[in-house]
Amino acid sequence: MGVAFFKGGVHPEYRKELTSSLAITAAPLPEKVVIPLQQHIGAPCEPLVEIGDHVKTGQKIGQSESFVSAPVHAAISGEVTAIGPYNHCLGRQVEAITIESDGEDNWDEAIRPVENPEGCTPEELRALIREAGIVGMGGATFPAHVKLAPPEGKIIDTVIINGAECEPYLTADHRLMLERPDEIVFGLEIMMKVLGAEKGIIGIEDNKADAVRVMKQAVGERAAIAVVPLKTKYPQGAEKMLIEVVTRRRVPSGGLPLDVGVVNHNTGTAVAVADALKKGKPLIERVVTVTGEGVGRPANLLVRVGTLVGDLLELCGGLKEETRKLIVGGPMMGLAQPTADLPVIKGTSGIVALTAEEVDLYESSTCIRCARCVEVCPINLVPTFIARAAEFEQFDRAERLHAADCIECGCCTYICPARIPLTQWIRIAKAEVLSRRKR
Amino acid sequence: MNGKLVISSSPHLRTIQSVQSVMLDVLIALGPVAAVAIFLFGYRALITMSVAVFAAMLTEALWLRQLNIFGDGSAAVTGLLLAMTLPPDVVWWIPAIGSVVAIIVGKQVFGGVGNNIFNPALVGRAVLLTSWGAHLVGPIWPVPKPFHFMADISAVSGATPLAGEAEALGISLNQLLIGNFAGCLGETSALALLLGGFWLLYKGHIDWRIPGGFIGTVWLMGTLFGGGFYENSVSTGLFHVLAGGVLLGALFMATDMVTSPVTPWGKLIFGVGCGLITMLIRLFGTYPEGVTFAILTMNALTPLLDKFTIPRKFGEVKQVA
């Protein structure tokens, strides 16, 4: 039995068995990739190539001078055929570079392993991580090097690797832990070194007992690193919940993990760091779980960033007739898409196709004040009151009810017997409250 | 893939629970109580419950102009709860009127399920109590006749344990636990009520704070101020918990989601307030029983309790270890 965060949470149907026992397989080289110039939180990149240019795999094709930004790289070799707006999973079009494959997958000669990464200074490591274009791969896509550069005066003593993977259906992190545990440990040690943290913790939900075992084995005798099994409960992998559970520290409201001496990274990010240093490889591929009842053959695929979701679905036997919802990310926090004509980005952990059976289209009814949403809210909010305030555009009231603290985990909407889209209302309130604060 | 993709805000998974399933669970929880009532009081109990439930469902269906008479199930719950507060031999039109009032005055005029301020079943009972009180309370109560479904229960009469000290002393705590004594349909068997209550707790439909606060306060007040006329002051406290409508009120009425607070502290204060008012009425008021008005009074305070007990958000107090 693992440890659980203190309060709230839900137990949706996990359905991880669709893919949890399927080893990661490399998807065939795509004929075309579309690399958005904005794949992460922060400043968008400027293109470094022009239409007609020939690029090699791993070549940097976009970057920004801004600190909170990470460069993007060509995921295949071939010809740049378009630079312009393209569908993006965030629901709008974003500037993107389209590359048509030459079928060769010629890697950029500049890509070489870093010699003696253990001997590098923290500054050098940070620069290498930034150059490799590494961002948070759990979905938030925050540039990794920024999290590895705490502001002056903040002391980070603990680095947490998030292997909770609490989103239902997704198994990408699970498979990474089973198949590349040494890289995860190596990536963690590098991050600890960059931050000067003396402790590393790998948190894994206890529905992945095999991953706990394998990671413990990989950690071996290292006294500085602990593998902590966590009780399976959504949203166990939410940053604030995970930190509370494994360190007993509470991130203050409105604060960041570094305020309590902690930095959190995803398992995929740790592997990306290891690949960047050991092989010199920039972040041009990631593991994506393609799953759901609407997918012919669910799979865990190693995919080049920029591969179109439609092409991946074809590889997995296509979408079934009864598919009603296509989600990029997990079913609790992922984004429903109107089309499969959009690229996998660095933060795409899963593609989930749900059928009519899972997609409830109930009308919502009046709140019966059952307080289930209050019970499940891990942040201790009263979702039904905030939702009602948002409905009546009482945004001052929403702010007093701490709408801005919502982590949008979706537990309240999940549990609501009246089927009120609480999370959606709270998002509206949160956006309004935050924009008012800026004014 | 055929047809259009649905676009909606996350989360994309929903629990299978609905308002209807919650109401069904409450009906299931009342099952043992109803069964004991029929076992003890025979066909009269069945008639009273059936009339109340049917009248409530019919009124709601007519009011809402809906064909599905069961609807979301909340009317059936209201009707059954109202029946539980009535004497076993009550004349048939009493539960009928009570249910009509409960649904219309107690619920629909406020905007229907979710919007009412007062517990509808108790609104119905309060109106009956003040309008036809002689049918609801009095010195003479039918005594249960177990195993005799067709028995004429009004032939043998007694008094309810709350009528006075002498009546109270005529009934043992064990009797109170099982329910073999004179009283309203749903308030005699403590065991059946507790069984239903635990089912609701297990299903997560009620929070322990309301019944906990309510029952705990009644016990404490009964122990301290009950006069100790029972074996000792502690068992006098227990007597106050087991006799009358405290368990029915604490487990099924005060826990009505719509009319009780949503915040954890609000719920606890609500429960304690219910217990406090109940005992003030019992010990110092003119009525022998105070559960109905205690809960209705606290219902009125619910919005205030919610307002002043908004939980502290995560990370509000820095708890750096």
CA distances from A65 to A44, A48, A130, B152, B187 (A): 10, 12, 12, 92, 75
Half-sphere exposure of B67 (CA within 13 A, CB side): 0
pLDDT in tens, A182-220: 999 999 999 999 999 999 999 999 999 999 999 999 999
Decide: A61 and A73 in contact? Cβ < 8 Å. yes
A338 backbone dihedrals φ, ψ, rounded to 5°: -85, -10
Is A145 in the same domain as A273?
yes
- Rounded-to-integer distance, Cα A439 and Cα A417, Å: 37
Distance from C-alpha of B267 to C-alpha of B209, rounded to nearest angstrom: 6
Q: For residue A107, what are the β-bridge partners?
A: A57
The mean pLDDT value for A299-315 works out to 96
What pLDDT is stored for residue B157 in this prediction? Answer: 63
Within this chain, do residues A398 and A255 fall inside the same structural domain, yes or no?
A: no
H/E stretch holding A95 reads strand A93-101
The whole-number average pLDDT for the span B88-114 is 94
How far does A170 lie from chain B, in Å, by closest CA? 14
Model confidence over A381-430: pLDDT tens digits? 999 999 999 999 999 999 999 999 999 999 999 999 999 999 999 999 99
How far apart are alpha carbons A63 and B49 in whole angstroms?
74
Give the lowest-confidence range in A75-79, A136-140, A356-360: A356-360
Least confident of A189-203, A325-339, A360-374, B209-223: A360-374
A278, A307, A338 - which closes a domain? A278
Would you say residue A106 lies in a domain?
A: no
Same domain, yes or no: A274 and A376: no
Cα B115 from Cα B120, distance rounded (Å): 11
A131 pLDDT tier (thresholds 50, 70, 90): very high
Q: How confident is the model at residue B289 (pLDDT cuts 50, 70, 90)?
A: confident
Q: Which of A321, A325, A336 sits opposite B2 (nearest CB)?
A: A321
CB contact under 8 A, B320 and A260: yes
Instruction: Give the mean model confidence (pLDDT) for residues B70-96.
Output: 93
- pLDDT for residue B35 is more than 90: yes
Please compute the mean of the pLDDT values over residues B140-163 and round it to a whole number: 70
Average pLDDT in the B243-250 region?
92
Peptide bond just before A235 cis, omega within 30 deg: yes
A243 and A134 in a common domain: yes
- In this structure, are A262 and A394 located in the same domain? no
The stretch B138-150 carries a mean pLDDT of 72
Regarding whether A249 and A128 lie in a shared domain, the answer is yes
Nearest Cα of chain A lies from the Cα of B105 at a distance, in angstroms, of 18
* Residue where one domain finishes, among candidates A278, A293, A316: A278
Q: Determine the average pLDDT of the residues in B169-190.
A: 79
Query: Mean pLDDT throughout B10-26?
Result: 91
Residues of chain B contacting A329 with CB distance shorter than 8 Å:
10
Domain total in chain A = 2
For chain B, the distance separating the N- and C-terminal CA atoms, rounded to the nearest angstrom, is 53
Residue A225 has a pLDDT of 96
pLDDT at B1 > cutoff 70: no
The CATH number of whichever domain residue A262 belongs to comes to 3.40.50.11540
- Record: contact A253-B263, CB cut-off 8 A: no
Instruction: Look at B111 and A333 and tell me if their CB atoms are within 8 Å.
Output: no
Q: What is the reported pLDDT for B186?
A: 83
Contact across the interface for B204 and A372, Cβ inside 8 Å: yes
A304 is a domain residue:
no
Residue A330 lies in a domain: no
How far apart are the C-alpha atoms of A364 and A373, rounded to whole Å? 15
Q: How far is CA A321 from CA A291, A310, A354, in A?
A: 15, 15, 11
Same-domain check for residues A391 and A259: no
Q: Is A340 within a domain?
A: no
Q: Is the dihedral of CA B81, B265, A393, A406 positive or negative?
A: negative
For chain A, percent of residues with pLDDT exceeding 70: 98
* pLDDT on residue A163: 95
pLDDT band at A300; cut points 50, 70, 90: very high
Pairing of strands A262-266, A158-163: parallel
A36 preceded by a cis bond (ω within 30 of 0):
no
Q: In this predicted structure, what is the pLDDT of residue B155?
A: 56
Nearest to A320 among B1, B113, B262 (CB): B1
Q: Which of A43-47, A74-78, B152-156 has the highest mean pLDDT?
A: A74-78
Lowest mean pLDDT among A29-38, B133-142, B299-308: B133-142
Confidence of residue B320 (pLDDT cuts 50, 70, 90): very low
* Position A80 in a domain: no
Residue in A251, A331, A339 closest to B12 by CB: A331
A25 CA: distance to closest CA in chain B (Å): 25
Is B290 or B136 the better-scoring residue by pLDDT?
A: B290
pLDDT bucket at B315, cuts 50 / 70 / 90: confident
CA-nearest residue of chain B to A318?
B1
Residue in B263, B312, B321 closest to A249 by CB = B321
Q: What is the mean pLDDT of chain A?
A: 93
Residue that terminates a domain, selected from A258, A278, A298: A278
Residue A7 pLDDT exceeds 90: no
Whether B253 has a pLDDT exceeding 70, the answer reads yes
Between chains, do B14 and A362 touch, taking CB under 8 Å as contact? yes
pLDDT of residue A115: 83
A-chain CB neighbours of B112 within 8 Å are 366
Query: Helix B93-104 crosses helix B120-131 at what angle (to 10 degrees)?
Result: 130
Q: Which of B12, B19, B314 sits opposite A365 (nearest CB)?
A: B19
Q: Is the ipTM of this complex over 0.85?
A: yes
- Contact residues, chain B, for A10 at CB < 8 Å: 15
**Pick among B12, B208, B299, B320 to test the A interface (most A CBs inside 10 A):** B12
Please judge whether A334 and B10 are an interchain contact, meaning their C-beta atoms are less than 8 angstroms apart: yes
Long-range residue pairs from B105-113, CB within 8 A, at least 24 positions apart, any chain: B106/B78, B107/B60, B107/B74, B107/B78, B108/B60, B108/B63, B108/B64, B111/A366, B112/A366, B112/B64, B113/A365, B113/A366, B113/A368, B113/B19, B113/B72, B113/B74, B113/B258
- The confidence score (pLDDT) of residue A207 equals 93
Q: Could you tell me the strand order of the sheet in which A158-163 lies?
A: A225-230, A199-205, A158-163, A262-266
* pLDDT for res B319: 45
pTM of the prediction? 0.91
Q: Considering only alpha carbons, which residue of chain A is nearest residue B321?
A: A249
Domain that holds residue A383: 372-438
Q: CA-based diameter of chain A, in Å?
A: 64
Q: Where are the alpha helices (DSSP H) in chain B?
A: 19-41, 43-64, 74-84, 93-104, 120-131, 133-136, 165-169, 173-178, 190-202, 209-225, 233-242, 246-248, 264-284, 291-308
Q: What is the C-alpha to C-alpha distance for residues A360 and A358, in angstroms, rounded to an integer?
A: 6
Note whether B263 contacts A374, CB cutoff 8 Å: yes
- Is residue A123 domain-resident? yes
Q: Is B115 helix (H, G, I), strand (E, B) or coil?
A: coil
* A382 and A274 within one domain: no
B180-239 residue pLDDT tens = 777 888 887 889 999 999 999 999 999 999 999 999 999 999 999 877 777 778 888 888
**Residue tagged 């019966």 (tokens):** A368
Q: Which of A13, A412, A413 to mutate to test the interface with B (most CBs of B within 10 A)?
A: A413
Residue B68 sits at the chain A interface (C-beta within 8 Å): no
Supply the angle between the helices B43-64 and B93-104 in degrees, to the nearest 10. Answer: 30
Q: A272 and A420 in one domain?
A: no
